[in-house]
Amino acid sequence: MNSSLMLRRFFCFNAPASASAASTSSKKKPLVFLGSPQVSTTVLDALFNASSAPNSIFEIAAIVTQPPARKGRGKKLMPSPVAQYAINRGFPYDLIFTPERAGEDAFLCGLRALQPELCITAAYGNILPMQFLKIPSMGTVNVHPSLLPLYRGAAPVQRALQDGVKETGVSLAFTVRALDAGPVIAHERLDVDDEIKAPDLLDLLFSQGSKLLIHELPAIFDGSARANAQPQDDSKATLAPKIAPEESWISFDEEAWVLHNKVRAFAGWPGTRAKLMLADGKDGQQNIIELKIITTRVCHHGIVQGNEMDEITFSKGSLVFPCRNSTPLEVLEVQLPGKKVVSAAAFWNGLRGQKLKKL
């Protein structure tokens, strides 16, 4: 189906008809969901299931998500994962809003016509202006994957893993104009495994967050959640800024545990990359290669000896990279540009005796 038919950009003149159709379907409280990536579908799925329960007090009146984007080798225009999930669930195409910006007049006009009592956001990826926040009568609640006020911003899970935290969590908080600074309704804590990567931790946190949201929805709708929400202590706030592509490069001048945490944090996107020297022992020819570091662990036994500080070795199924203060980083999986992810053993065998060194 043509993407323009699947995801209609709303205009003011067609919104009242859609709103009328939604309002006549039931007398449940209208809720609007905002989300975009795959992890957001966990929350949307929980809302769909809860809204279809016999005793449900709400319905999903509309879904707001990022516009279709060109993806893959063919650069085909594809809906966001949330939009595709909603379509697969049979949600009406004309109730999926895809504004470029959440402050567009046409979008806000269509949203007002639906008269939502509550908006729920989960990794929507767009700044919500004050004109938007004034529309839902019960406010806007965000499912945020951190223990607020810690890690406010676009990359809370990635920055937490990069910092090597042992505990994180998910928070439900009312949205205010300041970034992730609204009163907290509830939160759930989660211990962080030393080996878990960002995509897996994101899945866990949004799964927890969806359950927490469904549990708290009655209190949010009756107003008691607003009355009991706890203001954040801004003095304890930390920031989780958006990750830039150039951050993917790693330097072995840092200690092994720092690099291990970065590999876990940037797994999925943008990944972690290193430039290395490949030397042929027979003819002395040297080439610089780019290697994506996929999976690592910190070697907790021994230190790298002085004469090994530039050379990368292979031991017990791992590439061993000497790092700062003679700390060794074990690399278990790697990827060359344009190639598939392979084990360290497969990569090492492919070197056919050539030496691998740090630059």
Q: Render pLDDT for 277-294 as a digit per residue (tens, 0 to 9).
A: 999 877 778 999 999 999
Alpha-helical (H) ranges within the chain are: 3-6, 15-25, 40-51, 81-88, 105-114, 130-133, 156-162, 198-222, 224-228, 256-265, 344-350
Round to whole Å and give the CA distance between 131 and 276.
51
Residue 34 pLDDT: 98
What average pLDDT does the segment 53-77 reach?
A: 93
In eight-state DSSP terms, residue 181 is -
Strand partners for 30: 59
Sign of the alpha-carbon dihedral angle for 80, 121, 108, 58: positive
What average pLDDT does the segment 240-250 reach?
A: 97
What average pLDDT does the segment 9-31 reach?
A: 55
User: pLDDT at residue 10 above 70?
Assistant: no
Round to whole Å and give the CA distance between 102 and 138.
19
Q: Count of alpha carbons within 13 Å of 2, Cβ hemisphere only?
A: 3
Which pTM was predicted? Answer: 0.90
Which has the closest alpha carbon to 285: 199, 183, 215, 355? 355
Contact 104, 6 (CB under 8 A): no
Give the tens place of pLDDT for each residue, 132-142. 999 999 999 99
Round to whole Å and give the CA distance between 202 and 218.
25
Dihedral angle, C-alpha 117, 90, 110, 130, nearest 10 °: 50
Cα separations (Å) of 155 from 130, 181, 193, 244, 312?
Answer: 23, 15, 18, 11, 32
User: pLDDT at residue 342 above 90?
Assistant: yes
Scan for tokens 């996929």, then name that residue: 294
Round to whole Å and give the CA distance between 49 and 60.
11
Strand partners for 355: 279
What average pLDDT does the segment 67-81 reach?
A: 90
